[in-house]
Amino acid sequence: MIRGVMFDFSGTLLRIESMEEWLDAGLAATGIRLSDEEFRETAGRLTEYGALPGGSAPRRIPPHLAALWQERDVSTDQHRAAYGGLALAAGLPAPELAQALYDRHMSPAAWRPYPDTVPTLRELRRRGVPVAVVSNIGWDLRPVFRTHGLDELVDVYVLSYELGVQKPDPLMFRTSCDLLGLPPGEVLMVGDDRTADGGAAALGCPVHFVDHLPVDRRPHGLTPLLDRLG
């Protein structure tokens, strides 16, 4: 019987804005102006290098960032260095844009809940099912949840940079289950990454996967999990 639920953050409950919106916001913050062609080329390179946290995975990782990339979520410094390094490697019109872009992705305005996030969390709360957010991340996402009215629907946050380990390390899931006061076999893990989130299965947690799609292309990814609770 499932009595608690753990959710991943990015690509599960909320999704980062598009590459174009992200770049546009960074340019506005720095006052840098690009022609339409320069904008398209810069956005394309940033996409290739996977420089947008929460966006598409890198298609190219510079050798000097490869090791850092593998453990980017274990600390704030490593997270910033990894993504800032990718942005710079992609080639920016000015180096200060890398800082502006990194700062932008931590802004609540850069994140949007999936259409069924609020209804699903409210239904879990109505049923008395406790909820944890278990995320590989290098910064405090709580302000994002507060801004979007989600914080009151979450009981526990387990963030990789605070523990110094990242999913699929069992410590992430074990800590969450302990904080929820439930055995792993009674806590469902919901996420979009088969490797990272699927690691919960090693503890005996049931797992439910969703697709990491733009918000307007995934209206009902979370709703089916309610059927698993009976």
Instruction: Kindly calculate the radius of gyration of the chain based on its CA atoms and give it in whole angstroms.
Output: 18
Share of the chain above pLDDT 70, in %: 100
Report whether 78 contacts 138 (CB < 8 A). Answer: yes
Mean pLDDT of 140-153: 98
| Alpha helices for 58-167 (secondary structure H) | 66-70, 76-90, 96-105, 117-127, 142-147, 160-163
pTM metric for this prediction: 0.96
Count how many domains the chain has.
Answer: 2
Helix, strand, or coil (residue 54): coil
CA distance 28 to 43: 15
**Same domain for 89 and 155:** no
Mean residue pLDDT of the chain comes to 97
- My answer on whether 189 and 141 are in the same domain is yes
Same-domain status, 33 and 140 = no
What pLDDT is stored for residue 230 in this prediction?
Answer: 67
Average pLDDT over residues 193-209: 97
Select from 3, 52, 10 the least CA-distant residue to 167: 10
Based on the fold, state whether residues 136 and 188 are members of the same structural domain: yes
Residue 184 scores a pLDDT above 80: yes
| pLDDT tens by residue, 83-138 | 999 999 999 999 999 999 999 999 999 999 999 999 999 999 999 999 999 999 99
Residue-range definition of the domain harbouring residue 92 = 16-109
